[in-house]
Structure 1
Amino acid sequence: MVGLSKISGSEDISHGDKDTQVPKQNEEQLKQWFIGSIDQGTTSTRFLIFDGTGTPIASHQMEFEQIYLHSGWVDHDPVEIVQTVETCIEEATKDFTKKGYSVSDIKAIGLSTQRETTVLWDCETGELLHNAIAWPDTRTQHIVRELKERKGANKLQDVCGLPLSTYPSSVKLVWMLRNVDKVRKAYDECRLAFGTIDTWLLFNLNGKDKKLHVTDVTNASRTMFVNLRNLEYDSTVLDFFELDPKKIKLPKIVPCSDPSAFGSMASGSLKGVKITGCLGDQSAALVGQKGFEPGMAKNTYGTGCFLLYNVGEEPVMSHHGLLATVGYHFGGKRKPVYALEGSIAVAGSAVQFLRNNFKFIEASPDINTLATTVKDNGGCVFVTAFSGLFAPYWIDDANGTIFGITQFTERGHIARATMEATCFQTKAILDAMEKDSGHRLAQLAVDGGMSNSELCMQIQADLIGIPVDRPAMRETTSLGAAIAAGFAVDVWKEFEELKEINKEDHTIFKPQMSKEASSKMYKRWERAVEMSKGWLDSEDTSPSS
């Protein structure tokens, strides 16, 4: 393919840094050290075991149910999520030992999780009080509109880095307090435990230890309750949401890498193994892509699509529709590292939509084959606003809309337009990041399921006009959690030691479309976004809203 090149491990792709070879004896030792990594995502759970060179040795993955009770609602069963984690651990460990390795060689476990998804339980009994409300859920639209009119609303983003929208955990909690009797009763009686998926999993993996109610800084920064500058719960923000911290148990906030804060496995084949790393999945991917220097960025094409840009040790508040968030914090004497983030609600989930709802394809990877049956989108533009539009637009009242359908339109055109939707939104985010940071990205590191499509990555390079760098081993979210865990137990001590990890056989997609052609496509996308607005109003929300 024109515009595509391979880079072997002997060449440097680390944004100009010089190569530092890992001493051979050290590399041999690292191959005997292993780290487990739980990757709990939006639609599936997996568990991988890496050796100290970042090579995956064993893995297991399971999907779990997406619960759509009403239009715009997305629930998860927190009990099922725990079960998938436990099953994946057992199956991957079984595979690991079959290959001749010993469980005793697993030094620690890292955890990465979907963010913002909100779980509530009784802190005295451990009883679950409601399904988890997942991050793409939009039932809170009317609450968001109401909160935007409340005094102090315009000051929130400068404190916590997030805009008022259906996205963060805060509004999901408010909805449950208003609509779920058991939740309200537990709150009034000071029994309500709040957590994102990381807190819920750590509580359960530690044998439902009531004393262990913890979250890491990256997940905490997605609740909207945390002051980004001091990384503590902010009383002004809690007051804004009318929350009494005496009536709700909020998790203790700790760094992403810690030898004791996250406890250890209470049961199963890895009983007693410490959990020493914890990050939100997109921060884990930034770590897994080794985005350790300011100006480095990664884009993960998963269920949604998330672009994180390392801005260094001070938060940068966006003025162009992006989020300010914690990139990672490895504790000790290290300072937290912040990021600008562009969040796209729908990416791989649009491919699943074509598979499950329209039956266009039998399996998600088939989208690439279908899209290559046509030479372009045939005039179709698909605004995949199933949960409104996130960054940099923040349009709550948009719905998924396909423009440009004619008698000429084929399934391949729709497939191609589905891929392009994520690529267009990525370009919008990169344009906003350039305005916020004052710097244009030279190259974009990518991972996630949709990055497996060479067509999709070539479209992305064409639209953004810079090379796209795809590693051969794309389990970078899992790798990031493993890296955080490894730092806590001294598998690695400095970021410099990680330079050689996952460096082999990168593929570089170079732009091959003219700027004029790319600009014309993007202008049509922007017109389609404008036309997708206003499809929802307060009467279109859930029946019990």
Structure 2
Amino acid sequence: MNHEDGFVLVIDQGTTGTRAALVSHNGSIVGFAYSEHSQIYPRPGWVEHDPLEIWEKVMLVIKEVIERTKVDPREIAAIGVTNQRETTVIWDPRTGQPIYNAIVWQDRRTAPQIDYLRAHYMDTIKTKTGLVPDPYFSGTKVWWLLDNVPGLRDKAAKGEVIFGTIDTWLIWNLTRGSKDVLTPERGGAHVTDYSNASRTMIFNIQRLDWDDELLEIEGRIPRDILPLPRPSSDRKFYGYTGPEISAKLFNGISIPVCGDAGDQQAALFGQAGFEVGEVKSTYGTGNFILLNIGKSITYSRSGLLTTVFYATEEKTAYYALEGSVFITGAAVQWLRDGLKIIEVSDEIEPLAASASDTGGVYFVPAFVGLGAPYWDQYARGLIIGITRGTTRRHIARAVLESIAYLTRDVLEAMISDAGLRIPRIKVDGGAAKDNFLMQFQADITGIEVWRPKVFETTSLGAAYLAGLATGFWNSLDEIRNNWALDRVFKPTMDPETRERLYRGWKAAVQRALGWAKEVPWAYGID
């Protein structure tokens, strides 16, 4: 195949939906298809997905993008996967049936286990995993499943079930039945990459392997149910598409599956963030800010996470500092679907811009607690500063401003931890299209915001990782040359106003912290 004429297929499986995209050699997305999936809320603070529905949507969008673009499957050089990271699935590898719904990264049901770990193993977990104990991560979700699904612990002990984050679930289904997989005894490639493994809270980021001590203290998780950790761009390939999937989607062509990264790491890779000090901020359901810190591990003193960025070789990785903001774009959805202040999400930008300020209103979107740098699982959302003159314009503006404030919180911590000056923030994700938000982001941080021409950098990153494994792209420099600038947002706010507004934000956050612990009965907390 002439690489310049071929494509890489990407599956970008997110919190609210799944995208399939075809990426050309010059980094253009030549076509995509998207489909939402159901959100399941069994109890306050619980969030679940149906893994089978997600897999059905994956097959649907792959079929759609190939039909729309009329690409011959023989032109597809590789498949890359990127995913909502900490969401947890356990399934029977003989039947392919999940044992329980996927427990989503936003889910808070394991708060009691986290309280226990914070009290007894805080330093151990942070040193080995780079993470701050929180229900966000996969380890305590597996613990909960083993303790609460009847018979599951016995099945796990007998090797009758396997665990994976969403990338593992998709790769296993893509390669199911193929003989050319790294784990043929599991029926499909039962693998994950180092970046996704580093989000489980049971993975040692120094040794780049599962940690037996953490498996024991986080609910006696059997090692045998865990996927094989692999590089994000794997020249050995995780496997090839299985016969059933190849026949159904690719005209019988077997395609290598060889790229995998968590969605936020993939976005930094897609932003060509290969140099130490590069920063990206992705505006999606949540907001995730990553700083490339290279091959040396730096532990945060300011409430950030140290995570694996990516790997192209076994037992070697690049690392990043990460600030995870749980709810940003989801707050806009709440305005649309919950309060019905807007009818469609795009209405929020002109509505917010129509107000000269928020009239003293601050909005803290702590719907599921607060992530970095606060890490308060008992924080809850609030709107404060309301007066008789407050209108929906002020609320809309306060919601958008909260996204920028939370991002500044993380950037302040990064500057403190890494000792670096951040010259620019590269942005992506749906809300990066919002000019009002991007300008306020520049204003409230005093840092230039750089927006690329191609917004779907998560998909690009997964494509680049898969394409590097097959030689579709030969170097990081070749990928870097594909990155193109759309617009720079420069700070215009005077420093005094910037700091005054930010002090108001910090005061509002203080009032949100710990609220659910004051009235646990209101949130279904035992």
TM-score interval, normalised by the smaller of the two chains: over 0.9
**Structure 1 equivalent of residue 363 of structure 2:** 382
The one of 385, 402, 405 aligned to 1:421: 402
Q: Displacement, 1:502?
A: 3.1
- TM alignment of 1:287-302, pairs within 5 A: 287-302=269-284
**Structure 2 equivalent of residue 229 of structure 1:** 206
1:474 partnered with 2:474: no
Report if aligned partners of 1:122, 1:186 keep a CA contact under 8 Å in 2: no
Q: 1:283-314 deviations in whole A, cap 9, x for unaligned? A: 10010000001010100001110001000001
The one of 480, 491, 509 aligned to 1:529: 509
* CA distance in structure 1 between the aligned counterparts of 2:415 and 2:123, rounded to whole angstroms: 24
Q: Displacement, 1:124?
A: 4.0
* CA distance in structure 2 between the aligned counterparts of 1:124 and 1:87, rounded to whole angstroms: 24
- TM alignment of 1:346-425, pairs within 5 A: 346-425=327-406
Q: Displacement, 1:424?
A: 0.5
The one of 54, 57, 62 aligned to 1:84: 57
1:462 partnered with 2:443: yes
* CA distance in structure 2 between the aligned counterparts of 1:313 and 1:436, rounded to whole angstroms: 16
The one of 163, 168, 175 aligned to 2:144: 175
- 3-state SS of 1:477 partner: helix
Report if aligned partners of 2:176, 2:188 keep a CA contact under 8 Å in 1: no
Question: For residue 228 of structure 1, what is the amino acid of its counterpart?
Answer: I
- 3-state SS of 1:316 partner: coil
Q: Displacement, 1:180?
A: 1.7
Report if aligned partners of 1:55, 1:502 keep a CA contact under 8 Å in 2: no
Report if aligned partners of 1:129, 1:182 keep a CA contact under 8 Å in 2: no
Report if aligned partners of 1:199, 1:251 keep a CA contact under 8 Å in 2: yes
**Structure 1 equivalent of residue 419 of structure 2:** 438
- Of stretches 232-241 and 471-480 in structure 1, the one that deviates more from structure 2 is 232-241
Report if aligned partners of 2:272, 2:483 keep a CA contact under 8 Å in 1: no
**Structure 1 equivalent of residue 498 of structure 2:** 518
Larger helix percent: 2
Q: TM-score, length-normalised on structure 2? A: 0.94
Question: For residue 471 of structure 2, what is the amino acid of its counterpart?
Answer: D
Report if aligned partners of 1:260, 1:274 keep a CA contact under 8 Å in 2: no
* CA distance in structure 2 between the aligned counterparts of 1:245 and 1:129, rounded to whole angstroms: 16
* CA distance in structure 2 between the aligned counterparts of 1:274 and 1:29, rounded to whole angstroms: 17
Q: 1:61-98 deviations in whole A, cap 9, x for unaligned? A: 1111111111111101111110111100000000111x
Report if aligned partners of 1:36, 1:482 keep a CA contact under 8 Å in 2: yes
* CA distance in structure 1 between the aligned counterparts of 2:78 and 2:425, rounded to whole angstroms: 31
* CA distance in structure 2 between the aligned counterparts of 1:342 and 1:311, rounded to whole angstroms: 13
**Structure 1 equivalent of residue 21 of structure 2:** 48
* CA distance in structure 1 between the aligned counterparts of 2:428 and 2:106, rounded to whole angstroms: 20
* CA distance in structure 2 between the aligned counterparts of 1:530 and 1:325, rounded to whole angstroms: 27
**Structure 2 equivalent of residue 15 of structure 1:** none
- Of stretches 358-367 and 28-37 in structure 1, the one that deviates more from structure 2 is 28-37
For structure 1, the 5+ residue unaligned runs are 1-27
Report if aligned partners of 2:157, 2:222 keep a CA contact under 8 Å in 1: no
Report if aligned partners of 2:369, 2:376 keep a CA contact under 8 Å in 1: yes
Q: 1:148-207 deviations in whole A, cap 9, x for unaligned? A: 223x33321011000111111011111222222143342344423111001111111123
- 3-state SS of 1:365 partner: helix
Say which structure, 1 or 2, has more relative contact order (CA 8 Å, 6+ apart). Answer: 1
Report if aligned partners of 1:278, 1:481 keep a CA contact under 8 Å in 2: yes
Report if aligned partners of 2:156, 2:225 keep a CA contact under 8 Å in 1: no
* CA distance in structure 1 between the aligned counterparts of 2:437 and 2:524, rounded to whole angstroms: 38
* CA distance in structure 2 between the aligned counterparts of 1:163 and 1:469, rounded to whole angstroms: 30
- 3-state SS of 1:420 partner: helix
Q: 1:367-405 deviations in whole A, cap 9, x for unaligned? A: 112212211111110000011000001011111100011
Q: Displacement, 1:272?
A: 1.0
**Structure 2 equivalent of residue 254 of structure 1:** 230
1:213 partnered with 2:194: no
1:133 partnered with 2:94: no
Instruction: Give the aligned CA root-mean-square deviation in angstroms.
Output: 1.8
Equivalenced residue count is 511
* CA distance in structure 1 between the aligned counterparts of 2:190 and 2:264, rounded to whole angstroms: 22
**Structure 1 equivalent of residue 45 of structure 2:** 72
- 3-state SS of 2:345 partner: coil
Q: 1:458-516 deviations in whole A, cap 9, x for unaligned? A: 0000011010000121010000000001101101121111222131x420000000111
Q: 1:306-350 deviations in whole A, cap 9, x for unaligned? A: 001000001111111000000111227x94110000000001111
- 3-state SS of 2:240 partner: coil
**Structure 2 equivalent of residue 109 of structure 1:** 79
Report if aligned partners of 1:176, 1:183 keep a CA contact under 8 Å in 2: yes
Change (3 A) 1:80 1:244: closer
Q: Displacement, 1:539?
A: 3.8
**Structure 2 equivalent of residue 12 of structure 1:** none
Question: For residue 415 of structure 1, what is the amino acid of its counterpart?
Answer: A
Report if aligned partners of 1:262, 1:275 keep a CA contact under 8 Å in 2: yes
Report if aligned partners of 2:156, 2:222 keep a CA contact under 8 Å in 1: no
**Structure 2 equivalent of residue 196 of structure 1:** 165
Q: Displacement, 1:126?
A: 2.9
* CA distance in structure 2 between the aligned counterparts of 1:451 and 1:478, rounded to whole angstroms: 15
* CA distance in structure 1 between the aligned counterparts of 2:249 and 2:187, rounded to whole angstroms: 23
Change (3 A) 1:491 1:211: closer
Q: Percent identity?
A: 41
- Of stretches 269-278 and 80-89 in structure 1, the one that deviates more from structure 2 is 269-278
- 3-state SS of 1:536 partner: helix
Question: For residue 284 of structure 2, what is the amino acid of its counterpart?
Answer: G
Report if aligned partners of 1:74, 1:137 keep a CA contact under 8 Å in 2: yes
Q: Displacement, 1:413?
A: 0.9
Question: For residue 486 of structure 1, what is the amino acid of its counterpart?
Answer: G
For structure 2, the 5+ residue unaligned runs are 178-185
Report if aligned partners of 2:114, 2:135 keep a CA contact under 8 Å in 1: yes
Q: TM-score, length-normalised on structure 1? A: 0.91
* CA distance in structure 2 between the aligned counterparts of 1:309 and 1:544, rounded to whole angstroms: 34
- Of stretches 40-49 and 199-208 in structure 1, the one that deviates more from structure 2 is 199-208
* CA distance in structure 2 between the aligned counterparts of 1:423 and 1:540, rounded to whole angstroms: 32
The one of 163, 180, 187 aligned to 2:156: 187
Question: For residue 167 of structure 1, what is the amino acid of its counterpart?
Answer: Y
